[in-house]
Amino acid sequence: MDGQPARDTPAAVDAMAVAVRAKVSSCPAPFLPRVAGRRKRALGDLFGLRNFGVNLTRLGPGDASSLHHRHSRQDEFVYVVEGEPTLVTDAGETPLRPGMCAGFPAGGTAHHLENRTARDVLYLEVGDRGAGDEVEYPRDDLALVPDPATGRRRYARKDGSLW
Amino acid sequence: MDGQPARDTPAAVDAMAVAVRAKVSSCPAPFLPRVAGRRKRALGDLFGLRNFGVNLTRLGPGDASSLHHRHSRQDEFVYVVEGEPTLVTDAGETPLRPGMCAGFPAGGTAHHLENRTARDVLYLEVGDRGAGDEVEYPRDDLALVPDPATGRRRYARKDGSLW
């Protein structure tokens, strides 16, 4: 669907009325439980955007946004709409409230969000889709690296063996 | 500042506490009054993001987000935080409410927002910074096109003469 709005997409939508994406993550099965709770509404894809993605993501109590990670070439940004997630970076932890935002330039600190409260968290996340990106997971035996033959990214262990 | 977070930037900020950008627009003087009211907080730049910009933009009563325009290569996205702007596209007008969003893929419909209400409007806008972009303004004698010598974009009239 990239580059083409879904047929019959209206000019604008209520973000919460967009269907939750069926696939939770493409990460290897051992890591899946840690991100299984998150629910993403792919707002950018809905309108046919190709250069960046925008998701409205919900974290229930105990859920995490992602594994602790850092992109090599892609930037990321989050804006909290509801609830009080904890931002975890290599510099420490920061409690967030609605209306707060954080940006993660390529190659900067690794990061993720955790919902340690009893209420849902809702946030907007933006990430570009620039070519040649790799993902480092400093706390896990995991990396997302391009296949030299195809350029498609694959999950590998830190010794280079594929998951 | 691109690519480098401002010195002493915290891990996260209250978006409304970010200073409003001093420069309202770089467009030619005759068009400036139509966008002079908008107020942009450059959230992405604050954190050193380079691949896309994220602004929290406020429109007072009567203000417009921009001239009616379309990008040739860059995508755009808006999410309404407060107030009820009117989205104007080539397909017509759509009233927006908080929590609504719209995306504008490169080469798609021209668009802008207007605040026709008596209350402020606050919205997040995202746009990527991919190379080679041109901007078309179908309702104005204006275009933003790259200088063949330098690649820097300049404002021109539709006959190609520079503003």
Per-residue pLDDT tens for A61-75?
A: 999 999 999 999 999
| Average pLDDT value over all residues in chain B | 95
Of B11, B49, B97, Cβ closest to residue A77: B49
Report pTM: 0.95
CB B126 within 8 A of CB A54: yes
Contact residues, chain B, for A54 at CB < 8 Å: 77, 79, 101, 103, 126
Contact list in A for residue B14 (CB cut-off 8 A) is 97, 99-100
Enumerate the residues of chain A whose CB falls inside 8 A of the CB of residue B106: 50-51
Average pLDDT over residues B83-94: 97
Statement: residue A13 has pLDDT above 90: yes
Average pLDDT of span A90-114: 97
Rg of chain A over CA atoms, in angstroms? 16
* Interface contact A51-B130, CB threshold 8 A: yes
pLDDT of residue A5: 65
Closest chain A C-alpha to B161 CA, distance in angstroms: 31
Q: pLDDT tier at A2 (50, 70, 90 boundaries)? A: very low
Chain B residues in contact with A51 (beta carbon < 8 A): 52, 74-75, 106, 128, 130
pLDDT by residue (tens digit) across B68-82? 999 999 999 999 999
| Beta carbons of B103 and A44 less than 8 Å apart | yes
Instruction: Say if residue B15's pLDDT is above 80.
Output: yes
Q: What is the mean pLDDT of residues A26-45?
A: 96
Answer whether residue B55 shows pLDDT above 70.
yes
What are B56's two structure tokens? 């929290």
Closest A-chain CA to B112: A11
Tell me whether residues B128 and A128 touch, CB distance under 8 A. yes
Instruction: Give me the DSSP letters along A42-99.
Output: EHHHHTT--SEEEEEEEE-TT-BSSSSBEESS--EEEEEEES-PEEEETTEEEE--TT
Summarize the confidence of residues A142-157 as an average pLDDT. 93
Looking at this protein, which amino acid is placed at residue A113? Answer: L
Half-sphere exposure of B131 (CA within 13 A, CB side): 3
Q: How far apart are CA A153 and CA A151, in angstroms?
A: 6
User: Could you say which of B47, B77, B108 has the minimum Cβ distance to residue A102?
Assistant: B47
Do residue A103 and residue B79 have CB atoms under 8 angstroms apart?
A: no
Residue B8's pLDDT is 75
Q: What percent of chain A has pLDDT over 70?
A: 96
- The answer to whether residue A17 neighbours chain B at the CB level (below 8 Å) is no
In this predicted model, which residue has the larger pLDDT, A26 or A6?
A26
Of A130, A131, A133, A113, nearest to A122 by C-alpha is: A113
Instruction: Name every residue whose Cβ is closer than 8 Å to that of residue B154 and which is 6 or more positions away in sequence.
Output: B144, B145, B146, B147, B162, B163
- The helix (H) or strand (E) run that includes residue A2 is none
Instruction: Give the pLDDT band (50/70/90) at residue A9.
Output: confident
Residue A151: what pLDDT? 86
A 10 A CB-CB count for B2 gives: 12
Are the C-beta atoms of B84 and B117 separated by less than 8 Å? yes
Report the range of poorest mean pLDDT among A2-11, A82-91, B116-125.
A2-11
Q: What pLDDT score was predicted for residue A1?
A: 41
**pLDDT exceeds cutoff 70 at A6:** no
Q: Residue range A116-134: average pLDDT?
A: 97
Q: Which residue of B has its CA nearest to A85?
A: B12
CB contact under 8 A, A43 and B12: no
Tell me what percent of the residues of chain B surpass a pLDDT of 90: 91
What pLDDT, on the 0 to 100 scale, is given for residue A4?
Answer: 62
User: Is residue B44 over pLDDT 70?
Assistant: yes
pLDDT per position as a tens digit, B98-119? 999 999 999 999 999 999 999 9
A contact residues 108-127, partner B, Cβ 8 Å cutoff: 108-109, 124, 126
B6 touches chain A (CB under 8 A): no
Structure tokens at A29: 């099965």
Q: What is the pLDDT of residues A40-52, one digit of tens each?
A: 999 999 999 999 9
User: Which residues of chain B does A3 touch, with a Cβ-Cβ cutoff of 8 Å?
Assistant: 105
Does any CB of chain B come closer than 8 Å to the CB of residue A88? Answer: no
Question: What is the mean pLDDT of the segment spanning B132-148?
Answer: 95
